[in-house]
Structure 1
Amino acid sequence: MEVLKYVISDSNLPWWTKLYFTIIFALVVLVAVNLAVGIYNKWDSTPVIIGISSTMTPINKIPFPAITVCNMNQAKKSKVQHLKPGSVGYAMLQKTCYKETNYSQYMDIQHKNETFPNFILDISEKCSDLIVSCTFNQQKIPCTDIFREIFVDEGLCCIFNFLHPYYLYKFKSPYIRDYTSSDRFADIAVDWDPITGYPQRLPSSYYPRPGVGAGITMGLQIILNGHVNDYFCSSTNGQGFKVLLYNPIDQPRLKESGLPVMIGHQTSFRIIARSFEALPTIRNIHRTKRQCLFSDEKELLSYRYYTRRNCEAECDSLFFLRHCNCIPYYLPLVYPNASVCDVVHFECLNSAESQIFDVMSSQCKDLCLTSCHDLIFFPDAFTTPFSQKDVKAQSSYFKNFSSDYIRNNLAVVNFFHTDNYFRSSVRSAYTGPTEYMALTGGIMGLMIGFSVIFIAEIIYLILFILTMLILVMF
């Protein structure tokens, strides 16, 4: 800046020298402004950067993943083979088995106080029959003490390590099963969320259970019995099971995301935990810019804790409520007095299910941004078949059956962590006011010697010129 002042004010310099330095100054200012605008645009377009936490998180500070297990068999043959076409039960069976049927003919049939959820509960395999052996952290545990029945989009399934409904939902639903109904249940339900974690004071035995250690022996092993001879209809084109690993405060959706488990095989799921954290400084950035929501920024209708999956589940509930004036049994009741869909709604449900991705539903889900604090589990599965000869397994449960029965009906599933520690991903501001001023000031200072003093000089020069003009005019 001093060079430019000297060149302009020195009348002894030739004109071409003044022109040369004036052109150079203009080019340098143009480059400096262009670079400064580039920094601003980058800060405006990507205000949040995701980095890796400098500290390791032990797996015993987070819950073991919630696990839902479903039998692909939607109905037990022994329970439904007596149903006759034209009856309400037959209509419910067709819906359970995903059969194409004209349900309008059943709308005027009188009900016998049997609702669709109760029908599914009656014809589905119970958890005590499906999951026949459970071992967690090398301890044999009665499966009925750690698995509870839950309604999901695959029907009646079994769930492990899910947050107790008292902590998860804002009001009680008639179809939320009690997780502590067993007299032998030793674990005490506690609250947990990704921001505050577990309470400071914990009982000796509680759930959601935390991770214990790495390796198969420190994880969960279950033995599943498919009871193939009692198959009636399958949710897929084969026999077997579906499992899903997820955050204990999330709404499980098995139909599209469930992972297959084959009968006659041992399937192991290596669990890779990944958590997301966010610094409080990004709260000042608009949610559409940072693309995540803090749990207190969006209140859900039925869930106490915000997650993207819970928000999308409520969008589906509102969609069905708007189209059919009822909510399917596997979705959250967004209003305590909302009706659960039954036979009279089946025709409307079929139509609505084909329109679930319409504009209004998509607009609702577009507002369901990712949680700024979240916990996700990525399962890495590998499968090995049982021996084709005599099956020799460590579990004492296998001793009660022949090798043919084991290969045709049973499956062993292992869930375990691969590491004792993991690193969280941290969302932080890409540049704050200090960093932005430092970057911009560095460029401007390098190019044209710009400084805060120079701004004061410009203001002084403008005021001086205006004063002189005023004096000349008057």
Structure 2
Amino acid sequence: MKFSKTTQNVCKYFEECTDKSATDGVQYFGDTKRTACERILWLLIWIISVIVCTIFLVQTYEKWDRSPVFVTIGAGQMPIQDISFPAVTICPKTKYNRDLFTHSDVMYKSYADQVNLTESEKLELEYMMMVCKRDSKNNSRYHKYYDTNMLHFLNKVKPNVNETFRKCRFAGVEKSCDKVFTPIFTKTGVCYTFNILDHEELFTEDVPRFEDFYTTRKSVCFNQPYSKKCKNVYPKRATSSGNAAGFSVELVASAKDLDFKCVNPIQGYKIILHDPADIPTWSHDYFLLPLNMALMASVTPEVITTELDLKSYPPNKRQCYFDEEKVLTKLKHYSQSNCEAECLIQLMEHDTQCTDFYFPRTNLSDKICGMGSLEAVEFFEKRLINTILDPDDVEFFNRIDLENAKEHCNCLPSCSSVDYSTETTQSHYFWEGMTNSDNNSSYRSVLAVFFKEGQYIPLQRKEMFGAMDFIAYSGGLLGLFIGGSFMSLVELVYFLTLRIVCNIKMFGKEFWHGNKD
């Protein structure tokens, strides 16, 4: 069979390319001196090897692209002096001082004849209903919005700090409890927090301070490793493990202030341990301290850091934000819980033109969501708790703008975070034996918080493998299956371009395969 000149050139050039190729097996199926059976067999083997190698390369790339980051144990143990002692937020189930307000009396009066309630009593009852048992049904008869009078009322009737907290000690040093605790607002009303950042360092300049809430001292060496140069550090740090180096407080509840119509029968205190730069929200774990009980909380810090090399990856790939990557509008320090709080604020303002009373506001005159808005408030709270960006949540996306939700609610963890894992033990607190009193008019409890160990083992986000690692891994697969390398690729490009051009110059267009014979 006689072939055209072009076909002859292609066949001869292909034979030369395969003969000189450094890739394993290629020279066999290009050798015209061998039988067709041998050449076809080697061609099939080579094609199968290329297919298998390609599958492995694609799987490796997808794994690298999908999860380029892994979390591993850091290098050795670190002293607990390097991290802050947790902020301790205590929320009494007793919501108010009964000498200043009696919720059950006003409520019974409203049941008997609501017409006889004064406007002030009606409004104060609504205020207290916001921190007592909530009922989101049939609230159309209540006010939709409140003003700052609600905050002033809750502040006025809150339990007295020096009557509620006694014997406040940290590292064995006792201080006046009103110097140790600062009042804050949470969903359950007024709570008190130890070791939290001051208002100016917790919130942005746009958020005004309300009364003495979130008022503490300025931070010193916050988020810096332990150093002898840092004296009188704040937020406070524990120098060692154990109860003697931790925080303890005695809590007192007056029997007359217990109101079972306001809260459920489980009386006592809700305790939240959190980062000093976070505002306590529903996303934080909490535990209960019952009345007349002593509770010991041993804390194990869970510290995660991230290599700076991972900044080259987008946040969704590394699954965390560096501080400068996502700026919050009302809170200075980024964390997942702070981001979720801002998300809820933005969505509520967008839909209801108000925010819940315990959230920061740009102006104190901004509307507070009242009992009449409770159904809408709980709608967003439930959606946020159940992952607000569920693409199948048609009800939610029909109600709120998608881009707004994506912008404010993509709350990944912080690339540098500290969580406080807690183990608790408790026993009865027989305080009457210490006071020689049979007084049944009050209840006392004791809380002790301390680090379980003097060291902690940090975790670190690291790059699973970078671009060079992927190239090296790919080279290994190519070498294993077809004996290929980077030079094999250069060789292929050379035979398809430069060698043909040079052959044409040397032998003419008629013999571009490179041999006139």
Q: TM-score, normalised by structure 1?
A: 0.86
Q: Distance in 1 between matches of 2:470 and 2:435?
A: 69
Q: Deviation per CA, 1:27-54, whole angstroms, max 9, x where unpaired?
A: 2222211111111111011111111111
Match of 1:279 in 2: 307
The partner residue of 1:238 within 256, 260, 266 is 266
1:13/1:61 CA distance change after superposition, 3 Å: same
Contact persistence 1:164–1:189 (CA under 8 A):
yes
Q: Distance in 2 between matches of 1:444 and 1:176?
A: 69
Report the Cα offset of residue 10 of structure 1.
3.6
1:304/1:272 CA distance change after superposition, 3 Å: same
Q: Deviation per CA, 1:157-199, whole angstroms, max 9, x where unpaired?
A: 1100001111121124242635668xxxxxx5215665x5689
Confirm whether residue 220 of structure 1 aligns to residue 256 of structure 2. no
Match of 2:390 in 1: none
Match of 1:267 in 2: 295
- 3-state SS of 1:67 partner: strand
Match of 2:335 in 1: 307
Q: Distance in 2 between matches of 1:74 and 1:90?
A: 13
Match of 2:210 in 1: 175
Confirm whether residue 347 of structure 1 aligns to residue 368 of structure 2. no
Match of 1:56 in 2: 77
Contact persistence 1:271–1:379 (CA under 8 A):
yes
Matches within 5 A, 1:428-443: 428-443=462-477
Contact persistence 1:191–1:198 (CA under 8 A):
no
Paired AA for residue 131 in structure 2:
T
Q: Deviation per CA, 1:391-420, whole angstroms, max 9, x where unpaired?
A: 55xxxxx42644x649x6111111010111
Contact persistence 1:242–1:254 (CA under 8 A):
no
Match of 2:218 in 1: 189
Q: Deviation per CA, 1:338-378, whole angstroms, max 9, x where unpaired?
A: 61417xx4312343323432444864664111111111111
Confirm whether residue 380 of structure 1 aligns to residue 423 of structure 2. yes
- 3-state SS of 2:322 partner: coil
Report the Cα offset of residue 73 of structure 1.
1.8
Q: Distance in 2 between matches of 1:448 and 1:132?
A: 77
Report the Cα offset of residue 298 of structure 1.
1.0
1:355/1:249 CA distance change after superposition, 3 Å: closer
1:375/1:17 CA distance change after superposition, 3 Å: same
Confirm whether residue 210 of structure 1 aligns to residue 237 of structure 2. yes
Matches within 5 A, 1:30-45: 30-45=51-66
Confirm whether residue 445 of structure 1 aligns to residue 479 of structure 2. yes
Confirm whether residue 134 of structure 1 aligns to residue 168 of structure 2. yes
Match of 1:416 in 2: 450
Report the Cα offset of residue 276 of structure 1.
1.2
Q: Deviation per CA, 1:308-354, whole angstroms, max 9, x where unpaired?
A: 11111111212232233222221122x34661417xx4312343323
Mean Cα displacement is larger for which, 153-162 or 223-232? 223-232
Paired AA for residue 95 in structure 1:
M
Match of 2:393 in 1: none
1:128/1:400 CA distance change after superposition, 3 Å: farther
The partner residue of 2:509 within 465, 471, 474 is 471
Match of 2:114 in 1: none
Match of 1:154 in 2: 188
Contact persistence 2:241–2:453 (CA under 8 A):
yes
- 3-state SS of 1:266 partner: strand
Contact persistence 1:282–1:429 (CA under 8 A):
yes
Q: Distance in 1 between matches of 2:97 and 2:407?
A: 37
Report the Cα offset of residue 261 of structure 1.
0.6
Paired AA for residue 348 in structure 1:
S
Mean Cα displacement is larger for which, 79-88 or 444-453? 79-88
- 3-state SS of 1:156 partner: strand
Report the Cα offset of residue 108 of structure 1.
11
The partner residue of 1:97 within 132, 152, 164 is 132
- 3-state SS of 2:50 partner: helix
Match of 2:41 in 1: 20
Q: For the pair shown, which has the larger CA radius of gyration, 1 or 2?
A: 2
The partner residue of 2:278 within 231, 246, 250 is 250
- 3-state SS of 2:457 partner: strand
1:31/1:126 CA distance change after superposition, 3 Å: same
Q: Distance in 1 between matches of 2:185 and 2:129?
A: 18
Q: CA RMSD, aligned part only?
A: 3.1
Contact persistence 1:175–1:329 (CA under 8 A):
no
Unmatched 5+ stretches in structure 2: 1-21, 111-116, 384-395, 513-517
- 3-state SS of 1:226 partner: strand
Q: Distance in 1 between matches of 2:337 and 2:134?
A: 28
- 3-state SS of 1:211 partner: coil
1:422/1:256 CA distance change after superposition, 3 Å: closer
Mean Cα displacement is larger for which, 4-13 or 161-170? 4-13
Q: Distance in 2 between matches of 1:276 and 1:122?
A: 41
Report the Cα offset of residue 20 of structure 1.
2.2
Paired AA for residue 471 in structure 1:
K
Unmatched 5+ stretches in structure 1: 182-187, 393-397
- 3-state SS of 1:297 partner: coil
**What percentage of residue pairs aligned between the two structures are identical?**
21
The partner residue of 2:435 within 399, 413, 436 is 399
Q: Distance in 1 between matches of 2:79 and 2:284?
A: 31
- 3-state SS of 1:313 partner: helix
Q: TM-score, normalised by structure 2?
A: 0.79
